[in-house]
Structure 1
Amino acid sequence: MTARPTLPVPTVRDELVGPGRRAVTVGIVLLISLVAFEQMGVGTAMPAVVAELGTVADYAWPFVAFVATTVVGTVLGGRWCDARGPRLVLLLAPGVFGLGLLVAGTAGTLGQLLAGRLLQGLGAGAQGVAVYVLIALVYSAHARPAVFGLVSSAWVVPSLVGPPVAGLVTEHLSWHWVFLGLLPLVALAVLLVLPAVRGMAAPVEPAPPRRGLVPAAVAAALGVSALSWAGQHPTFVGAVLAVAALTVLVPALRRLVPKGTVRARRGIAAVVAGRALIAGAFFTVTAYLPLMLTATHGWSLSAAGLPLIVGSLGWSGAAAWQGRRPELSRPRLLRIGMLLIATGTAGLLVVAPAWGVAWAALPLWLVAGVGMGLGFSSLSALLLAGSAPDAGSGVGSARSASVGYHSSAAQLADQLAQATFVGLGGALLAVLVTPAVALPVLLVVLVVLALAGAAVAPRTAPRPTDP
């Protein structure tokens, strides 16, 4: 009796860039990069856009419009992926996003611009969830940390080059090309992922219907949009709107996130809670750190962006490092990452006051960036480990059909946390007036948030079954 030959186990490199995988890996990175470039570039170009099409009072609306339909696209895209698989979403969502770029890029009125932003948000939300589902179907659990390292880099590079490129395009050509210039890349990304999704079958075990998802998605969109608007308008009206938004959001979230998320119940609920905690802590600081350095210490806008660049490099480097070590415990890496974010944020307490040491923001935010690279990538891997234990075989279908729902819940938690804590920062500025007084209070809240994330980290290990 002769022994059967054993097939060689594919390496992580083979799974990412081997025959039949290189195109889909590049396509995934490009899909994420497109959304990142658009978001980074729009923030830079928006003053010119509003100056041409509206007034300063209209400044928040293009951002609010994008946030609103991103939530809807995230929820509905996740539901479709669980029921039918990600094939159609991966083909249609970039098309909707591209149509939004075209509508916004040719806008001659504020109304047309807002219509384009609504389409962009809808496509970006659905596309983000579908990419997670595609990763679960195509890559093994062993290779996913490396994939999410690449996904992190897909956000970091646009954050470094997006704003200056958008600024140059706006100054020397027109803000219209900030939108239109991305259209060829949308078509290229779809062509790259097309071979991977062409023969993809629906899930073997489709998820059971979840009632009330559509009205809950609409309610969440209105609530998150109101929170975002309130954060940009720290007035009495903004405070009232924020309270009303939370009143709408709480019941909607009961439908849109796994049971036990608020209590960080062990398993996928703790992973979703972790996404809210890490996003709330890290991204809120990135929103207010430039203000801290310009208003309190008199730095120029370009100089105030240096800590964000350093943090992005730390994020990218740490994400790549963890991707090369799939054998490491993801809950442990998450805990280390949360503690590093807490350390970097707490250190900024010596930067925020008028007597503070401004240059310390550079090494401190490098530490926080490393923490984000370890923590965010680990959460992404844990999300799929708890959602699709039998996926990643490369056969085009997954027995577990919860990836879309869990991915949409995690992204919604991310969006809600950012809107809530950025809004809190705006409220503190309204009450305490000066950044030198208000921002230290906000930093203390965010340190507590990151420490809570470190406490939750051990609970993120996958359970045998998750709802």
Structure 2
Amino acid sequence: MQTRGPRAARLHKIAPERESIFGPRLRATSVGVLILVTLIAFEAMAVSAALPTAARAVHGLSEFGWAFTGFLVANVVGMVASGQLSDSRGPRLPLVAGLIGFLLGLALSGTATTMAQLVAGRLVQGLGSGLIITAIYVIAGQVYPELLRPALFAATSSAWVVPSLVGPGVSGLLAQHASWRWVFLGLVPFGLIGGALLVPVLRALHRPEVPGRLGSGRRLFWALAVALGIAALEQAGQHPSAAALALGGAGLVVLVVGLRPLLPSGTFRVRPGVSAPVALRGLLAGTFFGVESLIPLSLSVQHGWGATAAGLPLAVSGFSWATGSWWQGRVDDAAQPGRRVILVRAGFLLNAAAAVGMAITAIPASPGWLAYPSWLLAGLGAGLTMTSVSVLLLKYTNDANRGADSAALQLSDATASALTTGLAGVLVAAAARGAIDNTTAFVGLDLAMCAVGLLGALVASRARPA
């Protein structure tokens, strides 16, 4: 029977709200996006287990750190370049270029015969990864209706769970029993499949008519400054000394100066509008990854746990992270406009509570098993907050600045994580020198991260429209 009149108009209006990210129109796009995110997640989680073997095989252990630092520096530049290209020409070019770069980097690393080639491969991988991640955010804003974005981000968060659980183990097994080269080369076919699934939506993407906020040359210059600042902080945190302290101070100055033109105006003040989600993303990432960076070491030193048991809290938190992401995807932002801010605040409070739990766990007289429920809470809170601020960012941004704002979200995450993990490295080094004891180092970091989490909860109410 044909439906006519106002009722038909009402039915037509609400029909898109019943769509799914795996419905006929979006299925190929969603699967392609999830494959690419899973590949990036697997490479991020698995490569650390295979790189020592690879470095020894190509006689490059003395330059081992550059395999990580090079990826990090290129990744930051890729994020900013992708945002600029997406705003001026649409996300098609950065996504295609990023996929080609990522696959080329895998091939370079997997066929490396020298350390220089391995580092070059990691650089190209990092650049491609940064291009892809930001372009995916822009595609989410262009292609997916606002109602479906929470579900999409929940699915992409879940795509990190399996790589976080099995990635290091699979990588180690391949390096030990087959060849470390397959950790890189084995991902190439999956990248081609993911790219092929995105071809239809890439053809349909429109090119923005309004250019981005800054010229590409300026943005790339500041992105390089930020990348070098992060690298300096990482180096100072891993190898503390008087010279490293000076390097870290210089890196911090360069980092702050470089961030200001790359982040939305008002980010450091958590101004309502697009600035607040960017700031909140950094506060949450700093809290979560700062504490997480010392969990295995804390359990090993303070409680004598082996490597498997000490690393297990990090693995199981992936499930609670996915649960939190799934839960926020159930929120109807149109019917419950204030509910997402409540979720953001709840996520910060859960992470603050988890930091306190880890501080208690770091005391040798306390039971070590407290790490498991504590870090499950942290994963749940991260899933609620990380995904919610991504949804809010795309809600508050506009077509002209969607790429730059998406890149800013990633930059905030990477920068805050570098700062807090660098602080962790400084405290551990101080304990190793005997300047402070281990308990003071671990508890001090956890309580500092608790304070950052409470700050995030306090300013979460600013995550509202400008």
Q: TM-score, normalised by structure 2?
A: 0.94
Contact 1:15 1:143 in 2 (8 A): yes
Which residue number in structure 2 is paired with residue 402 of structure 1?
401
Which residue number in structure 2 is paired with residue 264 of structure 1?
270
Cα deviation per residue 1:22-79 (whole Å; 9 max; x = unaligned)? 1100111111111110011111112212222345543321100000000110001100
Structure 1 SS opposite 2:457? helix
User: Is 1:50 equivalent to 2:55 in the alignment?
Assistant: yes
Gaps of 5+ in 2: none
User: Is 1:250 equivalent to 2:249 in the alignment?
Assistant: no
Which residue number in structure 2 is paired with residue 279 of structure 1?
285
User: Is 1:427 equivalent to 2:432 in the alignment?
Assistant: no
| Distance in 1, Cα, partners of 2:31 & 2:248 | 40
| Distance in 1, Cα, partners of 2:5 & 2:374 | 57
Which residue number in structure 2 is paired with residue 436 of structure 1?
439
Structure 2 SS opposite 1:69? helix
User: Is 1:71 equivalent to 2:73 in the alignment?
Assistant: no
Which residue number in structure 1 is paired with residue 417 of structure 2?
418
| Distance in 2, Cα, partners of 1:289 & 1:295 | 10
Cα deviation per residue 1:383-406 (whole Å; 9 max; x = unaligned)? 101113xxxxxxxxxxx2211111
Where in structure 2 are the equivalents of 1:75-90 lying within 5 Å?
75-90=80-95
Cα deviation per residue 1:190-231 (whole Å; 9 max; x = unaligned)? 001111111212014333444721211111111112222222
**Residue 323 of structure 1, aligned match among 329, 332, 345:** 329
Where in structure 2 are the equivalents of 1:188-337 lying within 5 Å?
188-210=193-215, 212-327=218-333, 328=336, 329-337=339-347
Shift of 1:236: 2.8
| Distance in 2, Cα, partners of 1:387 & 1:94 | 25
| Distance in 1, Cα, partners of 2:280 & 2:170 | 33
| Distance in 1, Cα, partners of 2:444 & 2:17 | 44
How many residue pairs get matched? 451
Segment of structure 1 superposing worse, 221-230 or 447-456? 221-230
User: Is 1:129 equivalent to 2:131 in the alignment?
Assistant: no
| Distance in 2, Cα, partners of 1:364 & 1:120 | 34
Q: TM-score, normalised by structure 1?
A: 0.93
Contact 2:237 2:422 in 1 (8 A): yes
Which amino acid in 1 is paired with 2:352? Answer: A
| Distance in 1, Cα, partners of 2:120 & 2:166 | 27
**Residue 393 of structure 2, aligned match among 336, 361, 383:** 383
Contact 2:354 2:374 in 1 (8 A): yes
Segment of structure 1 superposing worse, 197-206 or 402-411? 197-206
Which residue number in structure 1 is paired with residue 64 of structure 2?
59
Structure 1 SS opposite 2:272? coil
Contact 2:87 2:210 in 1 (8 A): no
| Distance in 2, Cα, partners of 1:412 & 1:277 | 12
Structure 2 SS opposite 1:431? helix
User: Is 1:447 equivalent to 2:446 in the alignment?
Assistant: no
Contact 2:50 2:175 in 1 (8 A): yes
Structure 2 SS opposite 1:461? coil
Which residue number in structure 2 is paired with residue 397 of structure 1?
none
**Residue 185 of structure 1, aligned match among 180, 183, 190:** 190
Contact 1:15 1:139 in 2 (8 A): no
Contact 1:12 1:146 in 2 (8 A): no
Structure 2 SS opposite 1:168? helix
Structure 2 SS opposite 1:255? coil
Segment of structure 1 superposing worse, 258-267 or 9-18? 9-18
Contact 1:93 1:123 in 2 (8 A): yes
Structure 2 SS opposite 1:203? coil
Gaps of 5+ in 1: 389-399
Structure 1 SS opposite 2:260? helix
Contact 2:109 2:184 in 1 (8 A): yes
| Distance in 2, Cα, partners of 1:15 & 1:28 | 15
| Distance in 2, Cα, partners of 1:221 & 1:331 | 31
Which amino acid in 2 is paired with 1:445? Answer: A
Structure 1 SS opposite 2:410? helix
Which amino acid in 1 is paired with 2:228? Answer: L
Contact 2:60 2:115 in 1 (8 A): no
Contact 2:272 2:463 in 1 (8 A): yes
User: Is 1:365 equivalent to 2:365 in the alignment?
Assistant: no
| Distance in 2, Cα, partners of 1:278 & 1:199 | 35
- Could you tell me the percent identity over the aligned residues? 42
| Distance in 1, Cα, partners of 2:59 & 2:243 | 22
Cα deviation per residue 1:352-384 (whole Å; 9 max; x = unaligned)? 122221001001111111101100010110110
Please, what is the CA RMSD of the aligned residues?
1.6
| Distance in 2, Cα, partners of 1:179 & 1:123 | 14
Which residue number in structure 2 is paired with residue 394 of structure 1?
none
Contact 1:272 1:410 in 2 (8 A): yes
**Residue 465 of structure 2, aligned match among 451, 462, 466:** 462
Contact 2:109 2:121 in 1 (8 A): yes
Structure 2 SS opposite 1:234? coil
- Runs of 4 or more off by more than 6 Å in structure 1? none
Contact 2:293 2:424 in 1 (8 A): no
